[in-house]
Structure 1
Amino acid sequence: MEKILRLPIGTLRLAPVFLALSIIIAGCASTGGIAPQRQPLAPAALDAGDALRAAQRSARWPDADWWRAYGDAQLDSLVAAAIAGNPTLAAVGARVRQAQSLAGVAAAELAPHLTGNLSVTREHWPDNPMYYGPGELANQNTWNNTGTLGFSYRLDLWGGDEHAHEQALDIAHQRVADERAAQLELEVNLVRAYIDFSKQYALRDIATDTLARQRDLVDLAQRRLAGGLGTQLELSQAEAPLPEYERQIEALDEAIALARNQLAALTGKGPGAGAELTRPALAMSAPVALPSALPAELIGHRPDVVAARWAVAGAARGIDVAHAALYPNINLMASLGGFAAGGPLFQFLHAANGGWTAGPALSLPIFEGGALRSRLGAAAAGYDEAVEHYNGAVVAALKQIADQIVQLDSLAVQQRDAERSASAAQRSYQLAQIGFKRGLNDYVNVIVGETQWLGSQQRVAQIRAARLAAYASLMGALGGGLTTPADSPEAAALKPAQRGAPGLSAAQRGASVAARQASGAPDALR
């Protein structure tokens, strides 16, 4: 339970006694050994691996508008439209504003509070001797007036309110980083969907070209049969693939239509908006290179890692709040007002009807059944959970970057091999076709050559699209090419009154916030 002592103004001389008592009680407060058990990983201590070390060829991060490296104006417009109109991203932005407002609520607890109350009522007094007896108010109409001003101020001796404010600010910063992470995920997903949109067009071109070539072969087989040089079997073999090639074209038309719908949905528009999209014109001119100083730089550039670090900082502030609740606190309270029943309007303003109170109020936990220590234990466990989430985010970030580097290097080799294979298959098909026209070989060789060439062309198109998509994934793994944010770790270490809450400007939404110190425990645990 919690005991509250209110001291009248005449006994203010006893305030030092109660203050001394609170200090004695505070000295007896014990956490029972409750403390966090986990520590954040130091990213620089992790082995980045050979793939990352080999890829560190540039000290410059990609641009924040990294998708412009594809050189497609339509893609640029789609990304801008998605950032402005995607409902999921807008919902994340609303959570940012909500967290900022809650930080303002926590900040209000640090300030003095002044409240006022005014009541003016008209009352008719009954003429009932049984309850009121004969009197001058019997069967009369009077004004009842009440007016009070109340003042209260929490001294916050142990910093519980200040830590609660800092925790609310950390949560607001975390929400800003979450918003940037959601925007980056949207950018990557849209770019990958656009690359798939482009790939379907490329595959359709291959299928259309193959169908046209097959029809030419059918015409040739018909002419050979009419001239007595060919057989009905050859004509039948030439006609057999036509339905399958036509089916492939129809399936690719379906894939293109579905890709249009997906792109329209990502921009927050209806399917009709996708019908306006033209064929993509993607080209990759940007070199695949990583900045130096990996992995430590991830803390300042990966928005999900930044958000996880802010969560650790907020959890640390939660421990401070729970710890402060173990100690007594003093509130300064005062009231001034008056009451009058009967008489003219605003009779309470007369000095004779006024009154006031003033004095400190001491609150201290005495018997609370271990609830406060249990809350401290829950806060410590929450901190450990946030730390492990942060550690997992760092490990996952390194894995994603290494995966994309390995994939990009492998796809570059695969593309060269696939292009050589396509060239050889094309040459083989052309030779088989020439031989068939001259009667030097049968149609089976043409079928085999055509099938190999078709497959090799499709593999080239798929590998090229995979390389473009892997580059987008790499940009996402690097944090979207963000530069050093203005909200630096040094600024975040300032007190709430100095650093303020994260803003909502477009510039701040377009850049990640920095975490607290990249290694070690938060301030409260050092």
Structure 2
Amino acid sequence: MIRPSLHSLPALCVIALSLTIAGCADQGGIKPEAQVRSSATFDVGQAISQAGAEAGWPQRAWWQAYRDAQLDSLVSRAVASNPSMAIAAARVRQAQGMAVSAHAGELPSAQLDASIGRKDWSDNVYYGAAFRDKLTWNNTATLSLSYNVDLWDRNKNTTLRAEDELRAVAADGRAAQLELESNVVRTYVQLALQYGLLDNTEAMLREEQKIVDLAHRRFNGGIGTQLEITQAEGSLPETRRQIEALHENIALIRNQLAALLGEGPGAGDGITRPQLVLDAPIGLPSALPAELVGRRPDISAARWRVQAAGRGIAVAKAAFYPNINLMAGIGPAAAGGGLFSFLSAPNVQTSYGPAISLPIFEGGRLRGQLAATTAGYDLEVEHYNQLLAQALKGISDQVVTLQSVQRQQRQASESIAAAQKSVDISTRAYQRGLTDYLNVLHAQTQWLRQQQIAQQLQAQRLAAYATLTAALGGGLESGPAAGAATGTDAP
């Protein structure tokens, strides 16, 4: 049996006393109240269940499904030049630096302190004859070593919390990139819509002008009235106003695209008319919603922050226990003598031993910190749960929209076919002298209006596809530092 020496008994008593007091540290029964919900507990609803499960996750460059080379170029330029991407990268570098700083707390540290002082003593008689009118040196040099004995894993959890936050910030950067990509695509879709509406409105103006010309000819031929001319001319100013408004919209959307590129408005002047073609079917990945946590970057970031908050609770709990540091120092020190006389062997001194700090009475500060940290954990958990529910809602919304738009497009196609049939019938009737050309022009105007509805539905489908892709997390791959945290339980 090994018996402690008399010299080690005081140290053992101090450690025993520290552990006894720490065991009595009152944490007030503070513990998390929120629980992370599993994605399997969410009812995805009929829209998602019936959408199909063979589509797979979006490809990396998902916008290429629109088959528009100009759009591909705009998205690439935006990702390369938009300031939001530089901001996201700077935040990642900042988080990396904080993680390195946190990890330093787990490692030993060494420090060299040296001072050289020359003192000219005064002539005051109180210093004695030995120092009157003397020049002396007071020199020291100490190499200090210290190491924190992380018995309660405070330093370890501090490092892990910083690493989790780094992963969350990296996921935030990918979320910003996905948002930027989808914004460029949706804005580009709106540009295409404005061009289509402009074509349609200009064609409508030409048809309305034909009605006005026909009304004048009927009046000049004695078979029309001035009222017919006034009625025919009444719609022209409004149609011309719509054309001007569409030109304004095109210019403003070009400016918006230029801003998304991170460039001046002049960058939008060279953007030509979009040529969008989308044949992608509606379908959802078979792994939804289980893999949504890892695929969608904002949800991944929220999950990492839940884990980081859990580490924070562990750090706050460790503050109730003793903090033990091992310290040692060696170096020469001497007063008097010459400039380098302190470097001699007899002047070398050493120090070593543990240092223990233990909170005994702190007025509830530690319990307050633990309560605040625990509440922060609950906030992060509920934010994660809310975000996952909103993500599933967003996916369901876009599936409902896409399915509805497809049905509306079929109905719009029937309306266009009926309007085209009316144009054909009125044209044949006019050619046979059974009606006047005014009926033909009215039928053509109605056909153009149905075409306008079809254009709006097509733009709605293009935008909904982009929104659905973003709701699924886009095509951004999850790396080792970006995937969702797993096994995060309440501390």
TM-score (structure 1 length as normaliser): 0.86
Closer, same or farther: CA 90–264 of 1 in aligned 2, 3 Å: same
1:229 is displaced (CA, Å) by 4.4
Counterparts of 1:15 and 1:126 in 2: how far apart (Å)? 43
1:19 partner amino acid: I
Aligned to 2:306: 312
Deviation at 1:343, TM superposition (A): 3.8
Mapped to 1, the partners of 2:141 and 2:431 lie a distance apart of 109
Letter of the 1:22 partner, please give it.
S
| SS of 1:284 mapped into structure 2 | coil
How far residue 43 of structure 1 moved from its aligned partner, in angstroms, is 0.7
- Equivalent-residue separation in structure 1 for 2:122 and 2:26 (angstroms): 64
Whether the 8 Å CA contact 1:12–1:359 is kept in 2: the answer is no
| Counterparts of 1:90 and 1:165, CA distance in 2 | 26
Look up the match of 1:507: none
1:471 aligns with 2:440: no
| Superposition map of 1:262-341 within 5 A | 262-341=256-335
Shift of 1:233: 3.4
Residue 45 (1) aligns with residue 62 (2): no
- Report whether the alignment pairs 1:364 with 2:358: yes
Q: Where in structure 2 are the equivalents of 1:247-262 lying within 5 Å?
A: 247-262=241-256
2:202: which partner in 1? Answer: 208
For each residue in 1:361-397, what CA deviation from the matched residue of structure 2 results, as whole angstroms up to 9, or x when unmatched? 1111111112112211112111111111111011111
- Alignment of 1:417 with 2:417, yes or no, is no
Match of 2:72 among 73, 76, 79: 76
Equivalent in the alignment of 1:521: 489
State how far apart, in whole Å, the 2-side matches of 1:56 and 1:245 are. Answer: 43
Aligned counterparts of 1:438 and 1:143: Cα–Cα separation in 2: 124
Structure 1 residues 289 and 188, CA, compared in 2 at 3 Å: closer, same or farther?
same
The alpha carbon displacement at 1:216 in A equals 3.1
Q: What is the TM-score with the length of structure 2 in the denominator?
A: 0.92
Q: Assess, with a 3 A threshold, how the Cα gap between structure 1 residues 460 and 59 changes in structure 2: closer, same or farther.
A: closer
Moved more, 331-340 or 298-307: 331-340
Q: Does 1:105 align with 2:101?
A: yes
Of stretches 290-299 and 314-323 in structure 1, the one that deviates more from structure 2 is 290-299
Q: CA deviation at 1:251?
A: 0.6
Contact residue 237 and residue 443 of structure 1 kept, 8 A: no
Residue 269 of structure 2 aligns to a residue whose secondary structure is: helix
Encode CA deviations 1:94-149: one digit per residue, 9 max, x unaligned.
111111111111100000010111223455x1542346444466164x55433111
Give structure 2 stretches of 5+ with no counterpart: 1-5
Residue 130 (structure 2) pairs with residue 129 (structure 1)? no
Match of 1:379 in 2: 373
Q: Does 1:26 align with 2:22?
A: yes
Q: Using a 3 Å threshold, how does the CA distance of structure 1 residues 109 and 97 change in structure 2: closer, same or farther? A: same
Q: Following TM superposition, by how much is the alpha carbon of 1:188 offset from its aligned partner in structure 2, in angstroms? A: 1.0
Distance 1:59 1:410, change over 3 A: closer
Which residue of the partner structure matches residue 212 of structure 2? 218
4+ residue segments displaced more than 6 Å: 436-439
Residue by residue over 1:185-207, the C-alpha shift from the partner in whole angstroms, topping out at 9 and shown as x without a partner, is 11111110010011000000101
Which residue identity is paired with 2:147? Y
Match 1:117 to one of 108, 113, 117? 113
Checking the alignment, whether the CA contact within 8 Å between 2:207 and 2:441 is kept in structure 1 is: no
Shift of 1:48: 1.0
Quote the Cα distance in structure 1 between the aligned partners of 2:197 and 2:67. Answer: 21
Distance 1:365 1:193 in 2: 59
Return the alpha-carbon distance in structure 2 between the equivalents of residues 145 and 30 of structure 1. Answer: 48
Q: Considering only aligned residues, what root-mean-square deviation do their CA atoms show, in Å?
A: 2.4
**Residue 36 of structure 1 aligns to a residue in which SS?**
coil
Residues 294 and 433 from structure 1, CA distance in 2 versus in 1: closer, same or farther, beyond 3 angstroms? same
DSSP 3-state at the match of 1:55: coil
Matches for 1:167-182 after TM superposition, within 5 Å: 167-182=161-176
Unaligned runs of 5+ in 1: 1-9, 488-501, 503-512
> 1:457 is matched by which residue type in structure 2?
Q
Verify the 8 A CA contact 1:234 1:443 in the aligned structure 2: no
Q: Which moved more, 1:49-58 or 1:463-472?
A: 49-58
Equivalent position of 1:491 in the other structure: none
**8 A contact 1:40–1:387 mirrored in 2:** yes
> Does the 8 Å CA contact 2:52/2:283 hold for their aligned counterparts?
yes
- Which residue is 1:492 aligned to? none
Give the residue type in structure 1 aligned to 2:123. N
SS of 2:158's equivalent in the other structure is helix
Which residue number in structure 1 is paired with residue 179 of structure 2?
185
Q: Which amino acid aligns with 2:99?
A: A
Amino acid at match of 2:301: A
2:91 is aligned with what amino acid? R
Tell me the distance in 1 between the aligned counterparts of 2:247 and 2:179: 27
SS of the equivalent of 2:273 reads coil
Q: 1:265, CA displacement in angstroms?
A: 0.3
Q: Partner amino acid for 1:412?
A: Q
Q: Indicate whether 1:352 and 2:307 are aligned.
A: no
Give the corresponding residue for 2:3. Answer: none
Work out the CA distance in 1 between the residues paired with 2:330 and 2:324.
Answer: 20
The farther-off stretch of 18-27 and 443-452 is 443-452
Between the two proteins, the alignment pairs up a number of residues equal to 486
Is the 1:333–1:359 Cα contact (8 Å) retained in structure 2? Answer: yes
Residue by residue over 1:475-522, the C-alpha shift from the partner in whole angstroms, topping out at 9 and shown as x without a partner, is 001000345x342xxxxxxxxxxxxxx4xxxxxxxxxx222226x615
> Is the deviation greater in 432-441 or in 169-178?
432-441
Task: For 2:78 and 2:42, locate their aligned partners in 1 and report how far apart those are by CA, in whole Å.
Answer: 36
Matched residues in 1 for 2:55 and 2:454: separation? 32
Given the alignment, which residue of 83, 95, 99 partners 1:87? 83
Contact persistence 2:112–2:143 (CA under 8 A): yes
Structure 1 window deviating more from structure 2 (273-282 vs 338-347): it is: 338-347
- 2:355 is paired with a residue whose SS is strand
